[in-house]
Amino acid sequence: MARSGKGNHVQYVWIPVIAALLAVPLGFMYVSWNKAGEGAGLYSRQWQPDAVFSYWNPGEFYRSVDTVQGVFSGEQCVQCHAAVTPGIVKDWRLSRHSTAAPGKKPVYCLSCHGDDHQDLHMPTPDVCAGCHAIQHSQFVDEKRYGFPSHALAMERAVDARHFVDKPKPEVTSCLQCHSVATKCDSCHTRHRFSAAEARRSEACITCHSGPPHPDDETFFASAHGKIYRQEGENWDWSKPLRKGNYKSPTCAYCHMAEGKHQVADKSIWKFGILEINPDTSANEVRRRAWIKVCSDCHEAGWSRDRLEELDTERKRAWRKLYEAEDLIKDLRSEELLYPAAGERPLYPVDVIEKLWPRERIGFYEGQASAFYNVSPIERDYFDMWYFDNLGAYKGAAHGAPNFVTAQHQKMDQALKSIKQQAKALRTAGEQERLYKERVDPSALWKQGEYTEYNKEHN
Amino acid sequence: MARSGKGNHVQYVWIPVIAALLAVPLGFMYVSWNKAGEGAGLYSRQWQPDAVFSYWNPGEFYRSVDTVQGVFSGEQCVQCHAAVTPGIVKDWRLSRHSTAAPGKKPVYCLSCHGDDHQDLHMPTPDVCAGCHAIQHSQFVDEKRYGFPSHALAMERAVDARHFVDKPKPEVTSCLQCHSVATKCDSCHTRHRFSAAEARRSEACITCHSGPPHPDDETFFASAHGKIYRQEGENWDWSKPLRKGNYKSPTCAYCHMAEGKHQVADKSIWKFGILEINPDTSANEVRRRAWIKVCSDCHEAGWSRDRLEELDTERKRAWRKLYEAEDLIKDLRSEELLYPAAGERPLYPVDVIEKLWPRERIGFYEGQASAFYNVSPIERDYFDMWYFDNLGAYKGAAHGAPNFVTAQHQKMDQALKSIKQQAKALRTAGEQERLYKERVDPSALWKQGEYTEYNKEHN
Amino acid sequence: MARSGKGNHVQYVWIPVIAALLAVPLGFMYVSWNKAGEGAGLYSRQWQPDAVFSYWNPGEFYRSVDTVQGVFSGEQCVQCHAAVTPGIVKDWRLSRHSTAAPGKKPVYCLSCHGDDHQDLHMPTPDVCAGCHAIQHSQFVDEKRYGFPSHALAMERAVDARHFVDKPKPEVTSCLQCHSVATKCDSCHTRHRFSAAEARRSEACITCHSGPPHPDDETFFASAHGKIYRQEGENWDWSKPLRKGNYKSPTCAYCHMAEGKHQVADKSIWKFGILEINPDTSANEVRRRAWIKVCSDCHEAGWSRDRLEELDTERKRAWRKLYEAEDLIKDLRSEELLYPAAGERPLYPVDVIEKLWPRERIGFYEGQASAFYNVSPIERDYFDMWYFDNLGAYKGAAHGAPNFVTAQHQKMDQALKSIKQQAKALRTAGEQERLYKERVDPSALWKQGEYTEYNKEHN
């Protein structure tokens, strides 16, 4: 019995094993089928790129134009383009690319773009990695730390369901910066590709500015930024980002110390998007890495106090956010959010929600877009979290005190408005309940005080 | 009969002819009578300038002060002012004005201000045109393209009814920039009047900044601006704005290419104030003029894609604006706007509206000021259109992606708020209707269901 | 009788005299007892500083760390720190401190920090006053003019009841700037402590930026700022702030003309926080002091007109503020503010309010914090006054026209919202009144029209 029973079991074991073995290639096929669509990423079949996307994500979308025919040498490229686009050629001449190492050729146009003018390509990070392997591997290493990170920026702006669902003209302004993952000239602008350029804070600000990431505004308003604004022009930017070389730090000095192309590994507060526990041992390791950088100029005690103050500010901000979130959660459980889950237009990629409608609160509930097709109060909470809160974080982290004040005032105002709306929704809900009672008085008579009395006394 | 009949007709013909001939001089007299008032422009009799206006619009208002007496030579002016206002004289000495062409005198103070110290004047563009005729004629040529334009800026800030009606202390901040039409030192600051200065983006930002025209903010946040911020200091600004002379463009490089003092002729989207059809042949001509400028550095395909993406962003923005506008139009037709047309205080220049009251929606319904004396929801729409929308346009046009995101978020918020207000107004209107029915029940009984039944069955 | 009566009176006179004599030392004792607490200032027992406060207010809170032991000479400090914190030492070497006057020693680290590494201190203004007595005495002289002023900045951020009551993580961002009163390196950054640095506008902007004091934004958006942005880099900043030395003024050029460390004595509008009478003789004296500075470059008439226009803008702004304030005062007298005075959570230092509850309107009613624990409409008024209004003032005062427009638009929006809320509160109050009448109809019958008729006719 035991044996034959065991034999039966062994036979049944094959069912899940085979299912699992089949699931893997089927999964790959599904993803591959998806990716064969018009767009890029897991949901590629469900969106179409605008024409300009071909430049933001050249690896996926760029197709060479065929206005000029022929295969050219590096010198020929330069000769012709010196007349057609002289600025570009001037930049290249000023770059290290144009200077041949002894016994070697310069890095000509064709090294990155190819030599066939009818099959040109725009270089992706892989192309740059041919020579700059260390920087590229550091950059790719960011993926280990998840998002936010440079290396995953484009993937998250394509694969993320709320990006797939978003109107493409509005995605464009996102992609313009998220393309930091798909091309290196976001920081090292073409065609000088200068390290000196990327060491300066201006290299970061086209993307790192404005809500929800006012790094430009907060750095340049800080004491660091003020010194930089005054005299940065005259510093020797050919020097590496190292102790004693600069009077004041830049973005890269702290976040990419010694030129390391990995900005995710020191991150404690994750861009301000989550409340984290700053006191884990992993975060203490990160904190010490920060203090090491700060100690290039500052006393260690000062640096630690400032970082702890940042934690304090974060906790204060999250207290405000949680107060708002709790209000909305209550409204949700009392069915006072309009439109309610089932009444909202679903996004194309909302498959599970079609079967199991869910209310949305906050970005990180794992749902597509928390900012479209939600009730007004939820949208306000999203804005409070995404714009006001993240701005406050950047102000506190970069030493821009006025920014912290202004953003906390905005959070106060948002919380006030959310409280007012919650109260109004609750009052309206109460009125509706009373109205229903009036229209259908049976409920009142059947269950009311008088009925109870009658039940007992008649 | 025929003859005399014909004669009669001929006699009557003289009536409209004479009326028309009289109308022309009467029209001129009316305008002239108006213009003879305190202010300037068509409505001059209806407003008084603040004292400071004499400097913003010197041709109209400047009266010389009489603290110093005498007629002076150029050298005498310089000698005295080197002690009184040395900064000004230093600037003049650094200007081309101070360098005499062979066999000619320098352009001394008196060339622009006159030589009689009791009858000094502040130079208007006409004065500058004495030497800089080409620039001035290009500048004046803008008028052909209507407003927005530099050349019509002051006229529109004086003749426009909403400016006449506006409290003068608030008009001052408008006039300070609109004076670009009435004096040349808005861009070429006194007394160096340098072309090099005006080539730089800073020349534009005192006026072209802040809502509703954040050109400063959007340029300096763009990739162009970032490069400029990094190294513009070291560029040779004596060079003309021409291919290959500058690594990155400035405002003037693109909008006043080759130094042409005409910025209106390439304008497609008209500052973002209107939805236009970008696909007319006239706009295709303009688009090609843009692509020509972009092609100094960029691939033509890239430039065209970017411009098309701008059209896409605009259409998205206008979809949001129209959604708001439609809501307000519906409220208007349902008589739910408070105060209603007839209840609003009229502006002094609102003559026609006195007889024929009209609700206001949006700036371009041809009415005076859409932002005073309107209902709250209309004001919100005005702000959405004027501040949020125009800012989004500038962000998209200048390549400042974060600005587009932020401004579209503001538009979303404004639209959300307008929807909420519309709903509240409609609910309040419904309640009022129900209340009236209750107070005057005759309407109910006379026209209600029961009455209809009785009419048929009794 | 008269004598003995007089004698009696004389005897009673001693009672208030003795009471007064006792009151003085008791008052001192009370203050001293208060100040012996954890924090600083009059309410020191009622708050605890965050750790980082020890650097913002070193005189009160800094305690030396004891990582290194020993007493060192100046040369020894420099030798060791050139390796530990080379940037600091470089800065010191570039400073005048490192250059010994003939027959004197340089100003070494120990001159300011002490020589015992286990008892180091952070220098307070008193330490700097040892050499820079004139500047320090000018700075201290500001106290005569009250607040706002640099010299009283920290005191008002500690002693003020609303700061004591505020959550400390939010006070941190205030203190970071208010520490201008307790250490000199807010403007002269360590360790170069350069006068040239403080002459530039960047020296001020870490604190003077953002709402409610957008001096950074308004200066750099002005015509002055635009010229500074263009060419300030190349000016000779070693020159004193004096006529003819600079093409365009900086913050310090006007506010600290000739390097005078007293910025409060020319202030007419007091930061915009109050409506003042600009036409007093004291303010005419201040105005002339301004015109004197403006006249370094501008015509006196122009300067006076601009200053008068500033008064005009202020009056317009205050008209809007008063309209809002009157609305709230009416609501208060009609008992329509929720939470009402008695229902609000009191602040720890609100002793008198515990006995005599008061509604709050505006900062300057002499109450603790007008921005926490108030009703929503009051908070909106506070924000209108503190952020929108003060920003408009700075825009008008610094010649940033777009800022004035934008801030007045914000004031218009705030006023609109306050009016809407007032109307809603009044409607809600009316409904509550009607409801009470319905629930308790006796009021209606006892005092109604019918009752009055009966009283007279029965």
CA distance C158 to chain A (A): 17
- Asked if A408 and C211 come within 8 Å (Cβ–Cβ), the reply is no
User: What is the SS3 assignment for A291?
Assistant: helix
| Residues 101-160 (B) with a CB less than 8 A from some CB of A | none
Average pLDDT over chain B, rounded to whole? 88
- pLDDT: which is higher, C282 or B451: C282
Instruction: Find the radius of gyration of the CA atoms of chain C.
Output: 29
| Residues 278-297 (A) with a CB less than 8 A from some CB of C | 295-297
Interface test with B, best of C216, C228, C230 (most B CBs within 10 A): C230
Kindly state the average pLDDT of the residues C270-285: 94
Given this model, what pLDDT does residue C6 score?
54
**Cα C160 to the center of its chain, rounded Å:** 10
Sort out which chain B residues have CB atoms less than 8 A from A407's CB and list them. none
Encode chain C in three state secondary structure: CHHHHHHHHHHHHHHHHHHHHHHHHHHHHHHHHHHCCCCCCCCHHHCCCCCCHHHHCHHHHCCCCCCCCCECCHHHHHHHHHHHCHHHHHHHHHCHHHCCCCCCCCCCHHHHHCCECCCCCCCCHHHHHCCCHHHHHHHHHHHHHCCCCCCCHHHHCCCCHHHHHCCHHHHHHHHHHHHHHCCHHHCCCCCCCCHHHHHCCHHHHCCCCCCCCCHHHHHHHCHHHHHHHHHHHHCCCCCCCCCCCCCCCCHHHHHCHHHCCCCCCCCCCHHHCCCCCCCCHHHHHHHHHHHHHHCCCCCHHHHHHHHHHHHHHHHHHHHHHHHHHHHHHHHHHCCCCCCCHHHCCCCCCCHHHHHCCCCCCCHHHCCCCCCCCCCHHHHHHHHHHHHHHHHHHHHHHHCCHHHHHHHHHHHHHHHHHHHHHHHHHHHHHHHHHHHHHHHCCHHHHHHCHHHHHHHHHC
Q: How large a percentage of chain C has pLDDT more than 90?
A: 65
Q: Please give the biggest Cα pair distance in chain C.
A: 112
Reading the block at residue C191, the tokens are: 């360790």
A172 touches chain B (CB under 8 A): yes
Write down which chains contact chain C via at least 3 CB pairs under 8 A: A, B
Given this model, what pLDDT does residue B445 score?
56
- pLDDT: which is higher, B175 or A345: B175
Kindly state the average pLDDT of the residues B25-31: 81
pLDDT tens digits, B125-147: 999 999 999 999 999 999 999 98
Domain ranges for chain C: 1-36, 192-256, 307-457
Given this model, what pLDDT does residue C444 score?
55
* Interface confidence (ipTM) of the complex: 0.89
Between A199-208, A382-391, C26-35, C305-314, the lowest mean confidence (pLDDT) is in C26-35
- Give residue A8's pLDDT band: very low, low, confident or very high (50, 70, 90): low
Given this model, what pLDDT does residue B2 score?
46
Sort out which chain A residues have CB atoms less than 8 A from B246's CB and list them. 87
Kindly state the average pLDDT of the residues C30-34: 77
Given this model, what pLDDT does residue B1 score?
43
- Asked if A405 and C172 come within 8 Å (Cβ–Cβ), the reply is no
Given this model, what pLDDT does residue B13 score?
85
| Helix and strand totals (H; E) in chain B | 24, 0
| Nearest chain B residue to C305, by CA | B52
Q: How large a percentage of chain A has pLDDT more than 70?
A: 91
pLDDT tens digits, B306-334: 999 999 999 999 999 999 999 998 998 89
* Alpha-helical regions (H) of B201-264: 202-205, 215-221, 223-231, 251-255
- Asked if A316 and C50 come within 8 Å (Cβ–Cβ), the reply is no
Given this model, what pLDDT does residue B360 score?
67
| Nearest chain C residue to B51, by CA | C305
- Asked if C211 and A409 come within 8 Å (Cβ–Cβ), the reply is yes
Reading the block at residue B309, the tokens are: 């993406």
Sort out which chain A residues have CB atoms less than 8 A from C168's CB and list them. 312
Given this model, what pLDDT does residue A38 score?
85
Q: Is the pLDDT of residue A443 over 60?
A: no
- Asked if B87 and C243 come within 8 Å (Cβ–Cβ), the reply is yes
Among residues C213, C319, C414, C273, the alpha carbon closest in space to that of B170 is found at: C319
Kindly state the average pLDDT of the residues B72-97: 95
Q: Is the pLDDT of residue B58 over 70?
A: yes
CA distance B353 to chain A (A): 37
| Residues 173-232 (B) with a CB less than 8 A from some CB of A | 221-223, 225-227, 229-230
Interface test with B, best of A53, A173, A191 (most B CBs within 10 A): A173
Q: Report which secondary-structure segment, H or E, holds B76.
A: helix B74-84
Write down which chains contact chain B via at least 3 CB pairs under 8 A: A, C
C91 touches chain A (CB under 8 A): yes
CA pair distance A216, B401, nearest whole angstrom: 14
- Asked if B168 and C312 come within 8 Å (Cβ–Cβ), the reply is yes
Q: Is the pLDDT of residue C276 over 60?
A: yes
Q: Is the pLDDT of residue C436 over 90?
A: no
Cβ-based neighbours of C424, under 8 Å, separated by 6 or more: none
pLDDT tens digits, B413-434: 999 999 999 999 999 888 888 8
Given this model, what pLDDT does residue C137 score?
97
CA pair distance B285, C278, nearest whole angstrom: 56
| Nearest chain B residue to C296, by CA | B85
Sort out which chain B residues have CB atoms less than 8 A from A387's CB and list them. 406, 409
CA distance A206 to chain B (A): 5
Of B222, B401, B413, the CB nearest to A383: B413
Most confidently modeled range among A300-314, B328-342, B354-368: A300-314
CA distance B300 to chain C (A): 32
Interface test with A, best of B402, B405, B413, B418 (most A CBs within 10 A): B402
**Residue A145 burial (CB < 10 Å; 0-12/13-18/19+)?**
middle
Given this model, what pLDDT does residue C219 score?
97
Q: Please give the biggest Cα pair distance in chain B.
A: 112
Q: Is the pLDDT of residue C4 over 60?
A: no
Given this model, what pLDDT does residue C54 score?
94
Sort out which chain C residues have CB atoms less than 8 A from A253's CB and list them. none
| Nearest chain C residue to B175, by CA | C401
CA distance C194 to chain A (A): 12
Kindly state the average pLDDT of the residues A290-310: 95
CA distance A99 to chain C (A): 32
CA pair distance B171, B157, nearest whole angstrom: 8
pLDDT tens digits, C326-385: 999 899 889 898 887 777 777 777 777 778 777 666 555 545 456 777 888 988 999 999
Nearest-10 Cα torsion for B71, B77, B79, B80: 80
Between A377-391, B427-441, C10-24, C132-146, the lowest mean confidence (pLDDT) is in B427-441
Most confidently modeled range among A101-110, B11-20, B59-68, C192-201: C192-201
Given this model, what pLDDT does residue C291 score?
97
Q: Is the pLDDT of residue A2 over 50?
A: no
Given this model, what pLDDT does residue B355 score?
81
Instruction: Let me know the angle formed at the C-alpha of B447 by B445 and B450, rounded to the nearest 5 degrees.
Output: 60
- pLDDT: which is higher, A201 or A42: A201
Kindly state the average pLDDT of the residues A202-215: 95
Average pLDDT over chain C, rounded to whole? 88
Sort out which chain A residues have CB atoms less than 8 A from B227's CB and list them. 189, 202
End-to-end CA distance of chain C: 68
Instruction: Let me know the angle formed at the C-alpha of B340 by B334 and B345, rounded to the nearest 5 degrees.
Output: 170
Instruction: Let me know the angle formed at the C-alpha of C164 by C161 and C168, rounded to the nearest 5 degrees.
Output: 150
Given this model, what pLDDT does residue A369 score?
57
- Asked if A170 and B295 come within 8 Å (Cβ–Cβ), the reply is no
Given this model, what pLDDT does residue C366 score?
47
Given this model, what pLDDT does residue C142 score?
96
Sign for the pseudo-dihedral over CA of B58, B64, B65, B69: positive
- Asked if C402 and B211 come within 8 Å (Cβ–Cβ), the reply is yes
- Is the CB of residue B200 less than 8 Å from the CB of residue B232? yes
- Is the CB of residue A64 less than 8 Å from the CB of residue A178? no
Sort out which chain B residues have CB atoms less than 8 A from A170's CB and list them. 313, 316, 404-405, 408
* φ, ψ for residue A181, nearest 5 deg: -85, -20
HSE (side-chain half, CA atoms, 13 Å) at B28:
5
pLDDT tens digits, A127-175: 999 999 999 999 999 999 998 999 999 988 888 877 888 888 899 999 9
Sort out which chain B residues have CB atoms less than 8 A from A177's CB and list them. 401-402
- Asked if B87 and C296 come within 8 Å (Cβ–Cβ), the reply is yes
Ranges assigned E (strand) in A24-116: none
| Residues 348-407 (C) with a CB less than 8 A from some CB of B | 395-396, 399-406
Sort out which chain B residues have CB atoms less than 8 A from A197's CB and list them. 230
CA distance C203 to chain B (A): 19
* Model pTM score: 0.90
- Give residue A450's pLDDT band: very low, low, confident or very high (50, 70, 90): low
